[in-house]
Amino acid sequence: IKEKGEYPQRIGIVVWATDTMRTGGDDIAYLFWLMGLRPVWSDRGGAVTGLEVIPAQELGRPRIDMTLRISGLFRDTFPGLVHMIDKGVEMIAGLDESEDVNFLAAHLKQDLLEKMKTGMPEHEARDQALIRIFGDPPGNHGCGVGEVVHASAWKDRKDIADVYTTWGAHAYGRKFRGEKVPKLF
């Protein structure tokens, strides 16, 4: 805000299982807060049982469109949390709010229209436009970059970026189990 005079419309965050474990989920709390969600706590045990939307007036700022790059260990350790994040994305995307209040919903509409113009059925276009969680290929861990660097199998930064994109372009959520979607990533 200090640099640009406005809130960012999109933020990408890398989420690692070990950081989530060590902090008790601070990174996920930040993610939900930026989207304008708060946890619903169980009466016993302090477990989060769901999410609720923070009203726009109470939030006092726009809802940020968040994209996650999760580690393979996060995917394997916290599948319920992956589903909860995906559900939160859908909750925010479904709100009837103006584009200047809800950046996620605004971007969803744009993405949906672009996909439908290519002939994609609306339900499939919506499912793809809602993807905000990306990670390693199913059954794999790491972003592939360390292996490429260690083997000196790269010439310039683009080679490293291509490996990162190839390994990280797998969609996760309630409807996706690691399908490769490099254009979306």
pLDDT tens figures, 144-168: 777 777 778 778 888 888 888 888 8
Residue 113 has a pLDDT of 95
Torsion angle of C-alpha atoms 57, 61, 65, 66, degrees rounded to 10: -100
Whether 37 and 95 have beta carbons less than 8 Å apart is answered as no
Rg (CA), the chain: 17
Name the amino acid, one letter, at 155: K
Residue range 171-179: mean pLDDT, rounded: 96
Can you tell me the distance from the alpha carbon of 91 to that of 113, in angstroms, rounded to the nearest whole number? 19
The band of 103, judged by pLDDT with boundaries at 50, 70 and 90, is: very high
Can you tell me the distance from the alpha carbon of 127 to that of 145, in angstroms, rounded to the nearest whole number? 29
pLDDT tens figures, 55-73: 999 999 999 999 999 999 9
DSSP 107: H
